Copies of this chain bind each other. A is one copy, B any other.
Amino acid sequence: MSLTDNLSNMNATPTERMPSADRRELILESATEVFGERGYTGATTDGIARAAGISQAYVVRMFGSKEKLFIEVLNRALQRLTAEFRAVIAAHEASGDPIEEIYHKLGLAYIDLITDRGMLLSLMQSFAQGHDRVIGEAARCGFLEIYQLLRDEAHLDPDQANVFLAHGMMMNTMLGLQLPQLYGTDTGATELMNAAFGGKLPLVLDATGQASASN
């Protein structure tokens, strides 16, 4: 069974031996989901272990501590986000499109990233940990890294970057809230979702009302 198969039905198979690099990746994947959903303190190493289909002790053994695991999750999320943005910027520069278009393109890229809900949410959860010596510091650096990318590589001015990030936070908030649960109950949830995501998010609601993007 390939790694990819394993990823798609995570806790189905009873633990098989696996190269530790692959196992690492799998745990990081699960941890990203769980941290994203419940936050750093709300998540348990046992919950992460169960999501990855292995024992609690092994999670800790592999990463040293819950804190170190979270830091890895955070950096990995950052890594994916910035890689995606840099690809968009590179493609844009090769395209000859008018400069202002980059803002729009990055927005679309961000909406695409929502498919990786856990990634964006674990980022956001880190932003709520400013008080923590270790995690707070990493979160601040990460946040500024994104800002600097928008400013220095996408050449947005501070106001544009601010508005861009603001919309990102808004979308993250709505993801975290699981707002789609209220869809159609005439509370305004639908119109607000549309305003926030520009009607560009093809929503699929699962049984628990959670939203995932399909494309």
Contacts and interface: CB of A to CB of B under 8 A. Distances in A.
Interface in A21-48: 37-42
A23 to B, nearest CB: 26
Contacts of A139: 177
A153 interface: no
Nearest to A158: B195
Nearest to A175: B130
B189 A131 contact: no
Contacts of A159: 195
B130 A192 contact: no
A63 interface: no
Contact of A39 (B42, B143, B144): B42
Contact of A188 (B38, B40, B124, B147): B147
A64 to B, nearest CB: 21
Interface of A is mostly: helix
Interface stretch (A86-94, A98-106, A164-172): A164-172
A189 B144 contact: yes
A196 B144 contact: no
Given A40-B42, A188-B144, A170 B178 contact: no
A130 B170 contact: no
Given A38-B41, A158-B192, A136 B178 contact: yes
Interface of A: 37-42, 124-125, 127-131, 136, 139-140, 143-144, 147-148, 151, 158-159, 161-163, 165-167, 169-170, 172-173, 176-179, 181-182, 187-189, 191-192, 194-196
7 contacts: A39-B41, A140-B182, A144-B187, A147-B188, A158-B191, A165-B192, A169-B172
